[in-house]
């Protein structure tokens, strides 16, 4: 039987003990939102897996089945070019072969060129904005940063006209040129980190006779390896997933990247409907390099973004 006691003269009841702590409403709402976001993110990926391992002819008969409809690996064989044209048509595939390895090579070349060029020039520009003192530096940086608010679609047509006039259509140079040198986000990202490097280290190197270029190459870049690696991964992923610009300037088969090739893969409907299983298999295979890259370096990316103060 519970008894009630109180401290003399205090009026405080001490016999009830600590109150049981239930779930806070805010925490419950946060968990519900987290679960919904996870479902919205993961369900399309699972559906892509389910469709990739299904048979085209059975997909329409079992639209609500959560498991692969008629489990098969034929879609992956069609993507890798391991089947003949007759087998493709019999399996509900496209009427022409998909040069998957050529498109994969083009995606690797384009993404690597953009990443190397953008990281190199953005790092130099970020160093100039964070360390060098020159008149109008902050005004130029603010003007440069305002480009972040300009949607990319607004610059697509002028860039297309420029690349066409230069005769760079259907070339690697035409695809990588608009984003090869730098982007406002890359400069802002690296500048935030460069500002946190102690100036005393740089000043000591300058007193010892090192020039600005040597300080940048021997001190700033090695000390910034983590954010540079993070930016490189983010840039590579963005370049890999780019669709509109390669579609505008890279229509030739020898420079066509995977994202554009998958769109053409979808438009081929020899049997009246797209090759959904083949399309999903191609999408899955093309996404695997980026998924592996993010799984290996994901923690470093999150830590660097949090350290640089970008939310």
For residues 94 and 79, give the distance between their C-alpha atoms in angstroms, rounded to a whole number. 10
Alpha-helical (H) ranges within the chain are: 25-52, 56-59, 74-79, 85-90, 100-130, 137-145, 152-165, 172-180, 184-194, 199-207, 212-215, 221-223, 225-241, 244-249, 258-267, 276-307
**pLDDT tens string 54-63:** 887 787 777 7
Res. 298 pLDDT band, cuts 50 70 90: confident
| Radius of gyration for the alpha carbons in the chain, expressed in angstroms and rounded | 28
* Residue 310 near residue 189 (C-beta atoms within 8 A): yes
Q: Which residue has the tokens 């048509």?
A: 89
* Residue 39 near residue 274 (C-beta atoms within 8 A): no
In this model, does residue 118 exceed pLDDT 90?
Answer: yes
For residues 146 and 149, give the distance between their C-alpha atoms in angstroms, rounded to a whole number. 6
Higher pLDDT, 220 or 81: 220
Domains and CATH numbers, the chain: 42-96+268-310 (no CATH), 100-258 (1.10.3720.10)
Res. 172 pLDDT band, cuts 50 70 90: very high
Q: What are phi and psi of 248, to 5 degrees?
A: -75, -40
Query: Helices 100-130 & 225-241, crossing angle to 10 degrees?
Result: 140
In this model, does residue 232 exceed pLDDT 60?
Answer: yes
* Residue 168 near residue 251 (C-beta atoms within 8 A): no
**pLDDT tens string 3-55:** 444 444 454 555 555 665 667 888 889 999 999 999 998 998 898 888 888 88
Higher pLDDT, 296 or 245: 245
Res. 311 pLDDT band, cuts 50 70 90: very low
Report which DSSP code applies to 22.
Answer: P
Report which DSSP code applies to 149.
Answer: G
**pLDDT tens string 139-163:** 988 888 888 788 878 888 889 999 9
For residues 87 and 74, give the distance between their C-alpha atoms in angstroms, rounded to a whole number. 9
* Residue 240 near residue 86 (C-beta atoms within 8 A): no
């Amino acid at each position: 039987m519970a008894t009630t006691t109180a401290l003399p003269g205090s009026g405080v009841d001490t016999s009830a003990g600590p109150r049981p702590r239930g779930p806070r409403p805010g925490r419950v709402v946060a968990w519900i939102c987290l679960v919904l976001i996870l479902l919205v993110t993961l369900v399309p990926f699972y559906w892509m897996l389910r469709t990739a391992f299904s048979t085209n002819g059975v997909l329409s008969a079992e639209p609500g089945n959560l498991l692969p409809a008629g489990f098969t690996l034929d879609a992956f064989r069609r993507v890798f070019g391991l089947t003949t044209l007759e087998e493709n048509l019999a399996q509900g595939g496209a009427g022409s072969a998909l040069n998957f390895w050529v498109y994969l090579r083009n995606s690797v070349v384009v993404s690597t060129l953009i990443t190397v060029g953008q990281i190199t020039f953005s790092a130099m520009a970020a160093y100039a904005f964070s360390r060098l003192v020159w008149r109008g530096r902050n005004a130029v940086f603010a003007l440069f940063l305002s480009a972040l608010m300009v949607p990319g679609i607004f610059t697509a047509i002028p860039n297309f006209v420029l690349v066409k006039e230069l005769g760079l259509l259907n070339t690697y140079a035409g695809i990588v040129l608009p984003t090869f040198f730098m982007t406002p986000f890359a400069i802002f990202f690296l500048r935030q980190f460069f500002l946190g490097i102690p100036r005393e280290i740089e000043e000591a190197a300058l007193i010892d006779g090192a020039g600005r270029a040597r300080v940048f190459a021997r001190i700033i870049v090695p000390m910034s390896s983590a954010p540079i690696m993070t930016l490189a991964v983010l840039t590579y992923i963005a370049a890999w997933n780019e669709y509109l610009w390669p579609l505008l300037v890279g229509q030739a088969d020898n420079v066509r990247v995977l994202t554009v090739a998958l769109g053409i893969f979808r438009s081929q409907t020899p049997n009246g409907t797209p090759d959904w299983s083949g399309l999903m298999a191609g999408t899955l295979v093309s996404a695997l390099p980026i998924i592996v890259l993010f799984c290996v370096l994901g923690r470093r990316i999150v830590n660097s973004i949090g350290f640089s103060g970008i939310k």
